[in-house]
Structure 1
Amino acid sequence: MAQMQLMDAAIGGDARAFESLASKHRTMIWSVCLRVTGNTYDAEDALQDTLLAAWRGIGRFRRDASFGTWIYRIAANAALAVSRARRSTDVEIPEYLATDRDFAEKVAAADLVQQTLKGIPEDLRVALVLRELCDFTYAQIADYQGVPLATVKTRINRARHAFEQALSPDSL
């Protein structure tokens, strides 16, 4: 089925059509949830909350944005809600998973990025994740966060600067 047919069917209540649409975006939804929450347990909860909220709200989807943009926004909201509700704890990688050096280095790099993101204030982190991971425009982020465009630019600039500072050799 073509994208528009899938959308029509999903809006009409076809669960399989919705599943097909959502599965095309699942990796990015997961990324948004993981980056905003900071750990896999909360990200899993946020992913489930996202899919449930999107399914329940698909009938109200107005098509003034793409399905991807719409569901990423739901994912960011769900991840923020889970994160605020739990104030996440760190997740440790079991040693048996880190036996391969390349894998271990990738895990270490991902962990460093995740820890760095967790250290950035929430409003800056969300703006950065939406821009860098979801390819939201500055205007879309401004609309999502309910702030002026200039504030979004400042937030993203500050987040990038904080990220660079945290990853500089002097701070490691």
Structure 2
Amino acid sequence: MQSLIDESPSGADLLERARAGDQAAFTTLVEQHRDRLWAICLRITGNQHDAEDAMQDALVAAWRAIGNFRGDAQLSTWLYRIGSNAALARIRKRTDADDIADHDPMSHLDVAAQVVVSDRIAEALSQVPDAYRATFVLRVYGELSYSEIAEAQGIGLQTVRSRISRARSILSELLADLR
């Protein structure tokens, strides 16, 4: 007879096990946030190669620091902050600031048009100053609230509003011809 009790570990149990050095528990915790963390790294860096490196750097940094995670913020906010910092560090290390994501050749015209628009957006986003871009990406692609962004980046709420507004303004100017 099967038990009706859910024997899967709770988030708190997984966190405690991860803090104690259980890599499997850490992996389970991180898997819940992997897609959004990837999106944040990709949007901040602007290309797949740097995003992969930033994601790897973020996961290694999170693993090393999980024992120090106090729970003052949500685990997701903490991970996204580490991810955005790792992505920004990758940008600073980059020698060629004009790198644009590589795309596989596609034959379908609609898909090709979407790729062109996506490339234009990625290119425009890469021209937004790093601090504005990171804040904007956390809001749009990370879907964090303004207060979560302020907490994740260690900045004031008004600074978050200002950075997002400025990023939108810059992108609007750069992408005016797409309207």
User: Shorter chain as normaliser: what TM range?
Assistant: 0.7 to 0.9
Structure 1 residues 45, 62: CA separation in 2 closer, same or farther (over 3 Å shift)?
same
Which of 98, 101, 109 aligns to 1:91? It is 101
Residue of structure 1 equivalent to 2:76: 68
Residue of structure 1 equivalent to 2:116: 108
Return the TM-score normalized by structure 1.
0.88
Q: State the secondary structure of the residue aligned to 1:156.
A: helix
Q: Is the 8 A contact 2:101 2:119 kept in 1?
A: no
Distance in 1 between residues matched to 2:82 and 2:174, nearest whole Å: 29
- AA paired with 2:32? K
Distance in 2 between residues matched to 1:143 and 1:93, nearest whole Å: 35
Q: Which runs of 5+ in 2 are unaligned?
A: 1-8
Which of 17, 26, 30 aligns to 1:22? It is 30
Q: Which runs of 5+ in 1 are unaligned?
A: none
Structure 1 residues 92, 151: CA separation in 2 closer, same or farther (over 3 Å shift)?
same
Shift of residue 108 of structure 1? Answer: 2.7
Shift of residue 124 of structure 1? Answer: 1.1
Shift of residue 136 of structure 1? Answer: 3.0
The 5 A counterparts of 1:84-163 are 84-87=92-95, 88=97, 89-95=99-105, 98-163=106-171
Q: State the secondary structure of the residue aligned to 1:51.
A: helix
Return the TM-score normalized by structure 2.
0.84
Q: State the secondary structure of the residue aligned to 2:39.
A: helix
Shift of residue 139 of structure 1? Answer: 3.3
Shift of residue 102 of structure 1? Answer: 4.3
What CA RMSD, in Å, does the superposition of the two structures yield over aligned residues? 2.0
Distance in 2 between residues matched to 1:142 and 1:116, nearest whole Å: 24
Shift of residue 109 of structure 1? Answer: 3.1
- AA paired with 2:158? A
Amino-acid identity (%)? 41
Shift of residue 57 of structure 1? Answer: 0.5
- AA paired with 2:103? I
Distance in 1 between residues matched to 2:168 and 2:72, nearest whole Å: 30
Shift of residue 100 of structure 1? Answer: 3.2
How many residue pairs get matched?
169
Distance in 2 between residues matched to 1:146 and 1:21, nearest whole Å: 23
The 5 A counterparts of 1:6-45 are 6-45=14-53
